[in-house]
Amino acid sequence: MLAVPGSGGTVRIFVTGASGFIGSRLVRDLLRRGEEVVAITRDRRRLGSGGDRFQVVQGDPAQAGPWQEQLAGCDAVVALAGEPLVGRRWTGAFRARITQSRIGGVERLVEALARVPSEKRPAVLLSASAIGYYGDRGAEELTEDSPPGTGFLADLCVRWEAAARGAAELGLRVVTLRLGVVLGEGGALRRMVPAFRAFVGGPIGSGHQYLSWIHMSDAVGLILMGLDRRDVQGPINLTAPAPVTMAEFARTLGQVLHRPALLRVPGPLVRLALGEAASVLLASQRVLPRRAQQLGYRFQYPHLPDALSDLAPRL
């Protein structure tokens, strides 16, 4: 359970991005563990009216507002909010939305935490980041000690993590969650499966680029470990220990679905459709979860065939 100095009774956790792909699963698991959750959302309809041990607060986490008062008395904060990156071109206006939803959201949290009396201030902040931090690095093995890459996403992640580290100056333990491609009952995998079921699936781009993935159960498991253990601090890669090339990912997904994986989507076509946003799909990042392994985390799904076999029947 959550390691909160001096805490007695129920643990209270403030979550941004609670209605999102990862956040909704995290909230479910926190409530199952007996924690109280305070969730901020711009649209209450996405979370309902709340309930026993689940408080829903309306507000925009990237904008100052009354929601910030709810941080007082919470034991921990998990910041997962962020505008989705894939699905539209990165115009100047959309880049600004991406940046504000991530960096602005964490900055508003840190500003609010600074106003909370120290005796009521949360003990830990877990803030989302991404393996986009490393940029496009080919087959190079990347760990938490690797330097950042270049490009819009890498620069965004560097600034995002720097904003989160501002909470350390207030005495909080800060963990930055460098998320890989999370495989679950939604997200990227749900968008890929229909093409394979229709016999038109295959790798995106050259197929040689590395895809660093993680099963949703392990992504949430590592977040919970970050909440529970005081020795988890700084960046941690949320990726499985066996990253694969895009060609291997497509081949394995086809095998699990009993479908061919022969129809490659050429990189130039992806760039034509998405512009710079295509980098999310075409960049190569071979990221290893060294910190998680040093901490003794036991992955439920360390290998891709098992992860996809678990998820495919529910997609």
78, 13 contact by CB (below 8 A): yes
Strands of the chain, DSSP E: 12-16, 36-41, 54-58, 76-79, 124-130, 141-142, 173-179, 181-183, 210-211, 213-215, 234-238, 244-245, 286-287
Average pLDDT of the segment spanning 271-275:
81
Q: Please report the pLDDT score of residue 5 as a whole number.
A: 44
Q: Which of 80-89, 102-111, 267-276 has the highest mean pLDDT?
A: 102-111
Least confident of 128-137, 187-196, 221-230, 282-291: 187-196
Average pLDDT of the segment spanning 244-251:
96
285, 142 contact by CB (below 8 A): yes
- Mean pLDDT across the chain, nearest whole number? 92
- d(C-alpha 108, C-alpha 297), whole Å: 32
Q: Please report the pLDDT score of residue 7 as a whole number.
A: 45
Please check the confidence at residue 52 and state whether its pLDDT lies above 90.
no
> β-pairing, 54-58 with 244-245?
unpaired
Please check the confidence at residue 3 and state whether its pLDDT lies above 70.
no
Q: Please report the pLDDT score of residue 86 as a whole number.
A: 77
Average pLDDT of the segment spanning 158-167:
98
Average pLDDT of the segment spanning 1-8:
51
- d(C-alpha 217, C-alpha 300), whole Å: 7
Residue 46 pLDDT class (50, 70, 90 cuts):
confident
- d(C-alpha 241, C-alpha 180), whole Å: 11
- d(C-alpha 253, C-alpha 216), whole Å: 16
- pLDDT more than 70, % of the chain: 96
Please check the confidence at residue 173 and state whether its pLDDT lies above 70.
yes
- d(C-alpha 197, C-alpha 217), whole Å: 24
Please check the confidence at residue 175 and state whether its pLDDT lies above 70.
yes
Return the closest-CA partner of residue 245 out of 137, 141, 114, 139: 139
Q: Please report the pLDDT score of residue 49 as a whole number.
A: 65
Q: Please report the pLDDT score of residue 219 as a whole number.
A: 98
Average pLDDT of the segment spanning 22-37:
95
Average pLDDT of the segment spanning 36-43:
90
pLDDT single digits (tens) 218-227: 999 999 999 9
- d(C-alpha 145, C-alpha 188), whole Å: 27
> Would you list the DSSP string of 277-297?
GGHHHH---EE--HHHHHTT-
- d(C-alpha 191, C-alpha 187), whole Å: 7
Cα-Cα-Cα-Cα dihedral sign, residues 102, 105, 108, 109: negative
If one compares 208 and 91, the residue with the highest pLDDT of the two is 208
115, 64 contact by CB (below 8 A): no
Please check the confidence at residue 4 and state whether its pLDDT lies above 60.
no
If one compares 86 and 226, the residue with the highest pLDDT of the two is 226
| All structural domains of the chain | 12-180+214-239+288-299 (3.40.50.720)
Please check the confidence at residue 19 and state whether its pLDDT lies above 70.
yes
**b/e burial code for range 109-130 (CB count within 10 A of at least 16 → b):** bbebbeebeeeebbbbbbbbbb
For residue 230, give every residue at least 6 positions away whose Cβ sits within 8 Å of its Cβ, in sequence order, or none: 3, 173
Give the number of other Cβ atoms within 10 Å of residue 3's Cβ.
Answer: 17
